[in-house]
Structure formats: structure tokens, C-alpha cells
A = this chain, B = another copy of it.
């Protein structure tokens, strides 16, 4: 059984991701969620709050998917994500871009995710280096993950494979 709010968020995430946040109207959401607008509003507190909720759920799913212990495994997980979820760019940066940061609830959800994302990559890099942190390398790996996500929109999975190989080179160079 799926709670009403979960059904809304699942449908909204798919529509926001496929058609954009602003281009997706509430009527389309109610149709996809299979409920009246009255019920939808009883569970969501408006579109801006729903956008933030979608991003929160996306953060949970994405971070769980990237629960790995090596940089190489990170890019393997990312390639799997891109192949199964499709490559339409980072949903958080897209939300931020569509709203110009003018919706506080959205801006905060994006900031929270990106902070957690940076921290996660730092943990992975540190673990991969045997517990020895390297902020510069963390930044480079983060750039590669963002770049693979963005570039795979038009270059396909090969962008993730290229990022994986580049990261392996950078790691090997750091180790030696």
C-alpha cells in the first residue's frame, strides 16, 4: 500500500523531471497522482512545498544509491543511475535554475542536498585514500560527478565512463 502523499511525490517527481517544474501544472499532477485537487492540496500545502518535498525524497533516493566506499564504485553507481533513471541533468540544480532561488523552500532543499552531496564525496575520497583526506581531490571528483551528470544529457552514458576513467587517473596519481 502506498500513502497518498507518496503517490503524489512519486508522480510529481516524474513529471517535474520529464517536463520541468514550472511547465508542469497542478491539473497534470492531480491526473497523474489519480486524485482530486482537493485531496492533493490537503496533503501538500501548495506547489512550492511539493517541489521541496520532491527534492527531499529525491535526495534520500539518490544518496542511498551512492552509498559506496570507493571512487570507482561511485561512478559505477552513477552510471547505473543514469541508465535506469535517464539522464536529464541534476534535478536540484534544475529546480534552482527554474526558480532563480526565489522560493526559499526550494533553495533550502537544494542547498541541503548539495551540502550532503559534497560531504558524501569527501567521505568516499577519504576512504579510498585509506583515511587520508584530500580536499583538492574531493573537489575534482565532485566536478567529475557533476560533469558526468550534465554531459550525459547529450553525450549519453559514455560521459560517465569518461568521468570514471578520469577519476581513476587522478586517484592513481595521488596515490603514487
Contacts and interface: CB of A to CB of B under 8 A. Distances in A.
Contact of A148 (B143, B159, B169): B143
Contacts of A97: 20, 88-89, 94, 97-98
Interface residues of A, number: 46
A8 to B, nearest CB: 20
Given A143-B151, A149-B150, A99 B163 contact: no
A93 interface: yes
A59 to B, nearest CB: 14
A61 interface: no
A142 interface: yes
Interface in A6-33: 18-23
B154 A111 contact: yes
Contacts of A159: 139, 142-143, 146
A58 interface: no
A132 to B, nearest CB: 18
B165 A19 contact: no
Contacts of A118: 155
Contacts of A142: 147, 151, 155, 159, 162
A88 to B, nearest CB: 6
Contact of A170 (B145, B153, B166): B166
B173 A169 contact: yes
Interface centre among A18, A111, A143, A163 (most CB of B within 10 A): A143
Q: Which 7 A-B pairs have the closest CB atoms?
A: A147-B147, A22-B22, A143-B147, A139-B162, A19-B100, A146-B150, A146-B147
6 contacts: A20-B99, A89-B96, A98-B98, A147-B163, A166-B170, A169-B169
